Amino acid sequence: MQLLDGKATSQQIKDELHVSVQSRKESGKKIPHLAAVLVGNDGGSLTYVNAKVKACEQIGFESSLIQYDDNVSEEELLAKIIELNNDDEVDGFIVQLPLPEHIDELKITMAIDPIKDVDGFHPENLGKMMLNLPAFLPATPAGILELIKRNNIDTSGKDCVVIGRSNIVGMPLSIMLSRNTNPGNCTVTLMHSRTKDLKQKVREADIIIAAIGRPGFVTEDMVKEGAVVIDVGTTRVVDESKKNGWALKGDVDFENVASKCSYITPVPGGVGPMTIASLMINTLKSMDLRNK
């Protein structure tokens, strides 16, 4: 079994991006600027946004964090998005999800100028992704593909199950792995809560990707010998041995599954850091898309 070390791979990517930024600086070009909008005080969202801002600092990107209380109105948030769309200094921006219930996430996503949509959630970017045209790719699926690529895992012709069909992970990932690209060329089964015979189908897969948010859902009996297992799940579970009282748990029962796999991602330290690395790749890409 080989561990797919997302932390080390993402550091490697950040180092490469740092070199690119330095060379942009030396040739007098603009340094990419990523802005992040955060609404409310959710601990998880705050942690993710802080990690994104920190990654910008490490690489040498400029960054700004715009914070609102939970009770910000949809109108105020939309006005900020229009402002960021028109701010030539900002090359890309994200609005950290989830948003409070009184705000329509789709309306917010649709308001972002696709050319600054470094999260790759706008329908224009998702459509281009489907057609394999240049676009911002959604960060988590793109990070998973990068991890697969950098570990020379052959996906062509493989049977892959993606468990979970969210718009930000499972659904786009199923398309990206189906495309005629490398990594890609998989035969993908996209699974969800209505899937019948799920366990049996997972057991037949060469590549298993779990993105449902149910700790330990994928058990040893569901994994065939030599499978590649990618765990996207990150659920906070009570852990009194930790200083903060919780630990992050993945969707895979890592302890019992690992020995059966050819490759497996840990949680934490697998997909999470790769998501941030992809966002940073998209931020640099924004310079090309905007001809800067």
Positions that interact with ligand NAP (CB under 6 A): 140, 163-166, 168-170, 191-195, 198, 211-214, 232-235, 271-272, 275
Nearer to ligand NAP, 21 or 169 (CB): 169
To the nearest whole angstrom, how small is the minimum distance from the Cβ of residue 169 to ligand NAP?
Answer: 4
Amino acid at 217: F
CB 64 within 8 A of CB 56: no
Spatial distance between the Cα atoms of 64 and 164, rounded to a whole number of angstroms: 32
Q: Indicate the DSSP class of residue 221.
A: G
Which is closer to ligand NAP, CB of 248 or CB of 261? Answer: 248
In the bound state with ligand NAP, the residue whose beta carbon lies nearer, of 59 and 222, is 222
Query: Active site includes 2?
Result: no
Nearer to ligand NAP (CB atom), residue 194 or residue 288: 194
Report in angstroms how near the CB of residue 49 gets to ligand NAP at its nearest: 13
The one catalytic residue among 52, 80, 158, 285: 52
Nearest to 54 by CA among 6, 112, 14: 14
Judged on CB neighbours under 10 Å (0-12, 13-18, 19+), 27 is: exposed
Return d(Cα 118, Cα 31) in angstroms, integer. Answer: 15
Of 59 and 274, nearer to ligand NAP (C-beta) is 274
Single out the catalytic residue among 96, 117, 249, 251: 96
251 labelled catalytic = no
Q: CB of residue 191 vs ligand NAP: minimum separation in angstroms?
A: 6
Catalytic residue among 5, 91, 117, 119: 119
22 is catalytic: no
What minimum distance in Å lies between the beta carbon of 249 and ligand NAP?
9
Q: Could you give the 3-state DSSP secondary structure of residue 235?
A: strand
Instruction: For residues 280 and 9, give the distance between their C-alpha atoms in angstroms, rounded to a whole number.
Output: 13
Strands (E), the chain: 2-3, 33-39, 62-68, 92-95, 159-163, 187-191, 207-210, 228-231, 235-238, 246-249, 263-264
Q: How far is the CB of 74 from ligand NAP (least distance, A)?
A: 21
Cα separations (Å) of 151 from 76, 144, 199, 242?
A: 44, 11, 27, 32
Catalytic residues: 52, 96, 119
